[in-house]
Structure 1
Amino acid sequence: MTATIVDARGNPDSWLAEATRLRALFAAESVVNDQAGGQPLAQIHALKNSGLLTIGVPVSHGGPGASWAVLLRIVRELAKADGSIAHLYGYHNNFLHGLLTMAAPDQQRDWMTSTLAGNWIWGNSVNTFSHSLFGRREGDWWVLNGRRPFSSGSHVADALIIAWEDEVTDARHFAAITAGRQGLTIEHDWDGIGQRQTGSGTVTYTDVPIHVSEVLSNPALAGRPIATLGPLQQQSVLLNVFIGQAIGALEEARGYTLGKSRPWIHSGCERHVDDPWIKRVYGELHIRLRAAELLADAALDALSAAWATGDALTAAERGEAAITVAAANVQAGDVALEVTQRIFEVMGARSATRTNGFDRWWRNVRTHTLHNPAEYKTRNVGHWFLTGEFPEPGTFQ
Structure 2
Amino acid sequence: MTLSILPTFTTVQRKASHKHWVEVAHKTAEKLRADVVERDSANLPPFAAKKILQDSGLLPLNIPRSLGGEGLNLHEAFELVQIIARADNSTGQLLGYHYLFQVFPYLDIEGERAQQLATDSITNRWLFSSTGTPQGSQVQAQRVEGGYIINGLKPFATGSRVADQIFARVFTAEGDRIALLVDTTVDGVVLHDDWDVLGSRGTATNSIEFRDVFVAQEAVIADVGPTDADREVYKTLSTLGFQLLFGTVYLAAAEGAFLEALGYTRDTSRPWFHADVQKATDDPYIVRTYGELASKLQALSALVQQATDSLDWLISQGKEITLEQRSAVAENIVAAKITAHEVSLEVTQRVFDVTGARATKTELGLDRHWRDVRTHTLHDPVAYKCKELGTYLLNGELPVPSAYQ
- Normalising TM by the smaller chain, what interval? over 0.9
Identity %: 32
1:316 aligns with 2:324: yes
Partner of 2:69, secondary structure, is: coil
Whole-angstrom CA distance in 2 between matches of 1:139 and 1:315: 38
Partner of 2:296, secondary structure, is: helix
Partner of 2:203, secondary structure, is: coil
Whole-angstrom CA distance in 1 between matches of 2:111 and 2:203: 30
Deviation at 1:152, TM superposition (A): 1.2
1:390 aligns with 2:398: yes
2:360 corresponds in structure 1 to: 352
Partner of 1:361, secondary structure, is: helix
Residues 218 and 14 of structure 1: is their aligned pair in 2 closer, same or farther, counting only changes over 3 Å? Answer: farther
Partner of 1:129, secondary structure, is: coil
Partner of 2:196, secondary structure, is: coil
Match of 1:214 among 219, 222, 237: 219
Q: Which amino acid aligns with 2:212?
A: D
2:370 corresponds in structure 1 to: 362
Match of 1:179 among 173, 177, 184: 184
1:226 aligns with 2:234: yes
**Greater shift after overlay, 112-121 or 70-79?**
112-121
Whole-angstrom CA distance in 2 between matches of 1:259 and 1:59: 45
Match of 1:111 among 89, 113, 117: 117
1:201 corresponds in structure 2 to: 206
Q: Which amino acid aligns with 1:109?
A: Q
**Greater shift after overlay, 307-316 or 104-113?**
104-113
1:127 aligns with 2:145: no
Once the two structures are superposed, the pairs formed by residues 279-290 of structure 1 within 5 Å of their partners are 279-290=287-298
Q: Which amino acid aligns with 1:44?
A: K
Is the 8 Å Cα contact of residues 139 and 150 (structure 2) preserved in structure 1?
A: yes
1:375 corresponds in structure 2 to: 383
Is the 8 Å Cα contact of residues 132 and 158 (structure 2) preserved in structure 1?
A: no
TM-score, normalising length: structure 2: 0.90
Deviation at 1:58, TM superposition (A): 0.8
Q: Which amino acid aligns with 1:281?
A: T
Partner of 2:215, secondary structure, is: strand
Whole-angstrom CA distance in 2 between matches of 1:131 and 1:312: 34
- Superimposed CA distance per residue, residues 320-354 of structure 1 (whole angstroms, 9 cap, x where no aligned partner): 21111111111112111000011111211111121
Whole-angstrom CA distance in 1 between matches of 2:214 and 2:235: 27
Where in structure 2 are there 5+ consecutive unaligned residues?
1-14
2:99 corresponds in structure 1 to: 93
1:68 corresponds in structure 2 to: 74
Is the 8 Å Cα contact of residues 101 and 218 (structure 1) preserved in structure 2?
A: no
1:255 aligns with 2:263: yes
Deviation at 1:240, TM superposition (A): 0.9
- Superimposed CA distance per residue, residues 86-136 of structure 1 (whole angstroms, 9 cap, x where no aligned partner): 001000011022112244655433322211222211111242002153333
Where in structure 1 are there 5+ consecutive unaligned residues?
1-8
Q: Which amino acid aligns with 2:169?
A: A
Quote the RMSD (CA, aligned, Å).
2.1
Whole-angstrom CA distance in 2 between matches of 1:113 and 1:343: 45
1:37 corresponds in structure 2 to: 43
Partner of 1:11, secondary structure, is: helix
Aligned residues: 388
- Superimposed CA distance per residue, residues 177-233 of structure 1 (whole angstroms, 9 cap, x where no aligned partner): 222011111112111211111110111222111223322216799722210101111
1:291 corresponds in structure 2 to: 299
Whole-angstrom CA distance in 1 between matches of 2:262 and 2:60: 35
Whole-angstrom CA distance in 2 between matches of 1:299 and 1:377: 15
Is the 8 Å Cα contact of residues 344 and 351 (structure 1) preserved in structure 2?
A: yes
Is the 8 Å Cα contact of residues 195 and 201 (structure 2) preserved in structure 1?
A: yes
Whole-angstrom CA distance in 2 between matches of 1:305 and 1:188: 40
Partner of 1:137, secondary structure, is: strand
**Greater shift after overlay, 110-119 or 248-257?**
110-119
Whole-angstrom CA distance in 2 between matches of 1:307 and 1:285: 33
2:244 corresponds in structure 1 to: 236
Whole-angstrom CA distance in 1 between matches of 2:30 and 2:247: 21
Match of 1:268 among 276, 279, 291: 276
Q: Which amino acid aligns with 1:208?
A: V
- Superimposed CA distance per residue, residues 349-377 of structure 1 (whole angstroms, 9 cap, x where no aligned partner): 11112111111000001111110222122
Is the 8 Å Cα contact of residues 177 and 224 (structure 2) preserved in structure 1?
A: no
- Superimposed CA distance per residue, residues 287-326 of structure 1 (whole angstroms, 9 cap, x where no aligned partner): 0011001111111111222222221222222122111111
Q: Which amino acid aligns with 2:256?
A: G
Q: Which amino acid aligns with 2:207?
A: T
Partner of 2:140, secondary structure, is: strand
TM-score, normalising length: structure 1: 0.92
